[in-house]
Every structure is written in structure tokens, then in C-alpha cells.
Amino acid sequence: MTPDLLPPAWLPQLLEALRSPWGALAFIPLYALWVTLLLPGVWASMLAGALYGPWWGSLIVFVGACLGAEAAFLLGRTWLRDWARRRLAAVPKLQAIEQAVSREGLKLVLLTRLSPAFPFSLLNFAYGLSEVSWRDYSIGLIAILPGTVLFCGLGALAGDVARFGEVLSGQADAGTWTLRVVGVLATLASVWLVGRAAQRALQGGDPPA
């Protein structure tokens, strides 16, 4: 590794602190803040997997993501409503979700949470603008578990922060490739199935048999 690519001197100490029980607890609100600020969660999820393993990492990420999602939902429904509406004006598919969710409720929440076609962070604000109930919105968060486990598993497989780029780019071993291929196939299948169901929902429900 060339000197330019070496991690900062403080990074090992930070990672070691995060591996401790107190560090794991601190990771939860940090992840929640990350989500609320509309930052992509892939790298943070992979970091959790590398630090805590696939299962503990998934639990930590799930709790943090739920807290961040609830915060974004409430902000989108109250103080940041005007800002959120302007932000979503550039994303027509999220505007369509906002308009349809009042009719479809929990079903559409679950479908869009399962689909990687809808960005998680912005979707939280879209639901805040909609008339979906807080109950349905909160129950729908269970659908983020498959993606959470996938990215934490990738992080655990990478083993350390320096290999995250290799895992995502494919420059890794056969085990990494196998997990990536399975993840891609599962994602394509979910996009196809969810896309069909969500399209029917947005058009007003299933056609009569």
C-alpha cells in the first residue's frame, strides 16, 4: 500500500473504540444521525458488519436506522415539511409514493422498503409528507431487515475498512463474489416483483380477476 493510501493515524484508535460495548452503543445514535442527514447508509452498514459481525452489526444498524427513520418522518411532518416538499419535487417517483400511500397504507410502505429503487433516507421524508399513519410507517420498517443483513454481511466478509472498496468493486475472493452474485440476483428479483406490485398500487389497485 502506497503512503497516499494509508489510513490516518487516528483511524485504528477510533475503530478500536467503536468495537467496545460503549462504542457499539454510540454507533446507534451516530447511524440515526447519518440517516437523518440523508447520507448513504451502505458504507456505515458495512462498517457495522466489519466491527460487530453480521448479526450484531445488523441489530445495531436496524435500531439506528429505525431511530433515524422515525426522526426524519417526524421532521418531514412538522418543522421541515416545506423543505422536504421542495426536496422531493425533483424525485417524481417519491411524489407518486406520497400521493398513493394514503390509500394503500402498510402494503405500500412494505413494498417500497423492500425495493432498492427507492432511496431509504428520502423515503422517510416522503412518508412524513403523506397521510400514512405513524403505526403503519413504523411497522413497515421491518422490511429494511433484508438489506440491512446483506450489507452488514458484506462488511463482515470484507473484514476491515480497507477492503470495503474491494468488496463493492468485485476485487475480492470467491466467497465475496458468491455473496455479491446472490445479492444481485435477489435484488433484481425483488425489484421486478415489487415494481409490478407497486405499479398496480399506484394505478389504483389490482385489476379484477
Integer Cα distance of 129 and 146 in angstroms: 26
pLDDT above 70 for 206: no
Integer Cα distance of 96 and 103 in angstroms: 12
Q: Read off the pLDDT of residues 130-183 as tens digits, 9 standing for 90 and up.
A: 888 899 999 999 989 888 888 888 888 776 555 555 555 555 556 556 655 665
Integer Cα distance of 71 and 133 in angstroms: 15
The pLDDT of residue 196: 61
The pLDDT of residue 54: 86
Integer Cα distance of 11 and 24 in angstroms: 16
Q: Read off the pLDDT of residues 125-142 as tens digits, 9 standing for 90 and up.
A: 888 888 888 999 999 999
DSSP code of 84? H
Confidence bin at 73 (pLDDT 50/70/90): very high
The ranges assigned to domains in the chain are: 14-202
Q: Average pLDDT in the 122-126 region? A: 88
pLDDT above 50 for 66: yes
Among 131, 73, 98, 70, residue whose Cα is nearest residue 201? 98
- 102 versus 55: which is more confidently predicted? 55
